[in-house]
Amino acid sequence: MAPQIAPSILSADFARLADEIARIADSADWVHVDVMDNHFVPNLTLGLPVVRALLEHSALPLDCHLMIEDPDRWAPEYAEAGAKSVTIHAEAAKAPIRTLRAIRAAGARAGLGVNPATPVDGFEDILGEIDMLLLMTVEPGFGGQKFLDVVLPKVRRARELIKGRDLPVWLQVDGGVSTETIERCAEAGADVFVAGNAVYGADDPAEAVRRLRGQAEEATAKADW
């Protein structure tokens, strides 16, 4: 699959979210929405009512990243509301297979997210239950953090596992992805790139997306996976 760019509105102006999404509507593939509950992570952002409102105003599909304590309770509701991709965290879900199936049953892509220190080995048998594996490349909770290079071998490993099973699972990297780091992520095997600060911290967010995409495409063309 060609690389996809999913700008995170975590670094956008929260008072003008619809306008902020419109700024990247022609250049990005997804809008990445970071839902944080101040329990799974030490930060509080937005929830279902705001996502419902954004769905009314976004020309791009929403990729909801749930950093919440009880994803089993909430994830299906995001999918039923109209989010096209819903990711739950492996560290938080108590019944991940049931929840992933409920997300799919509601018509959304089902994502499984893992924190930087969580290994991906052990998840190979449930790759058939998911449409996307999200690898955090910062500790979850905040935008604008420094990319954790230590996660790169895991990106490679995850790509091997996906290839080994011959499944159409997308591999997303999230956290600190920028013009400095996106090439290494693409070379290692990522094909969906979340970027918050690198897009909304730029003077021209649409141009920032185009630049990231160009770099990801070039690095993917050279990659050996």
Ligand X SMILES: O=C(CO)[C@H](O)[C@H](O)COP(=O)(O)O
Q: Which of 34, 37, 131, 191 is catalytic?
A: 34
Residue 116 in the binding site for ligand X (CB under 6 A): no
Our answer to whether residue 34 is catalytic in this structure is: yes
Q: Does 65 bind Fe ion (CB under 5 A)?
A: yes
By beta-carbon distance, which residue lies closest to ligand X?
196
Check residue 195 for interaction with ligand X (CB under 6 A).
yes
Angle between helices 48-57 and 71-81 (to 10 degrees): 20
Whether residue 164 is annotated as binding a ligand: the answer is no
Binding residue for ligand X, selected from 65, 89, 211, 213, defined by CB under 6 A: 65
Annotation-wise, does 85 bind a ligand?
no
Judged by CB under 6 A, which stretch of 45-53, 122-130, 175-183, 216-224 contacts ligand X? Answer: 175-183
Q: Which does 138 bind (CB under 5 to 8 A by kind): Fe ion, ligand X, none?
A: ligand X
* Residues in 16-35 at the binding interface with Fe ion, rule: CB under 5 A: 34
C-beta of residue 107 within 8 angstroms of C-beta of residue 127: no
Structure tokens at 111: 């994502």
Verify whether residue 174 is a known catalytic residue. yes
Beta bridge partners of 35: 66
- Where on the chain is the footprint of ligand X (CB under 6 A)? 8, 10-11, 32, 34, 65, 67, 138, 140-145, 174-177, 194-198
List, as residue ranges, the binding site for substrate: 8, 65, 141-144, 174-176
